[in-house]
Amino acid sequence: MFSLTNKKAIVTGGGSGIGKAIAIILAQQGAEVHILELGIGQAEATLAEISNQGGKAFSYACDVSDHQNVKVIFDQIGEINILVNNAGIAHIGKADTTEEADFDRVMRVNVKGVYNCLYAAIPHLRAAGGGVIINMASIASLVGLPDRFAYSTAKGAVKAMTMSVAKDYICENIRCNSISPARVHTPFVDGFLKNNYPDHIAEMFQKLSKTQPIGRMARPEEVGALALYLCSDEASFITGCDYPIDGGFTTLNN
Q: What is the pLDDT of residues 162-190, one digit of tens each?
A: 999 999 999 999 999 999 999 999 988 99
Other Cβ atoms within 10 Å of 205 Cβ, number: 16
Examine the pLDDT at 7 and tell me if it is beyond 90: yes
- Give domain limits for the chain: 8-252
- With H, G, I as helix, E, B as strand and everything else as coil, classify residue 148: strand
Of 164, 168, 181, 160, nearest in space to 227 by CA: 181
**Architecture in CATH for domain 8-252:** 3-Layer(aba) Sandwich (3.40)
Confidence of residue 98 (pLDDT cuts 50, 70, 90): very high
Other Cβ atoms within 10 Å of 207 Cβ, number: 11
Element holding 61 (H helix, E strand)? strand 56-61
Structural contact between residues 180 and 141, judged by C-beta atoms closer than 8 angstroms: yes
| Residues involved in catalysis | 151
Examine the pLDDT at 254 and tell me if it is beyond 80: no
pLDDT tens digits, one per residue of 105-161: 999 999 999 999 999 999 999 999 999 999 999 999 999 899 999 999 999 999 999
pTM, 2 dp: 0.96
- With H, G, I as helix, E, B as strand and everything else as coil, classify residue 237: coil
Examine the pLDDT at 206 and tell me if it is beyond 70: yes
Structural contact between residues 184 and 219, judged by C-beta atoms closer than 8 angstroms: yes
Structural contact between residues 242 and 229, judged by C-beta atoms closer than 8 angstroms: no
Name 87's Cβ contacts closer than 8 Å, sequence gap at least 6. 12, 13, 19, 36, 37, 38, 64, 109, 113
pLDDT tens digits, one per residue of 34-68: 999 999 999 999 999 999 999 999 999 999 999 99
Report how far apart the first and last C-alpha atoms of the chain are (Å, whole number). 37
Which amino acid belongs to residue 248? Answer: G
Other Cβ atoms within 10 Å of 17 Cβ, number: 19
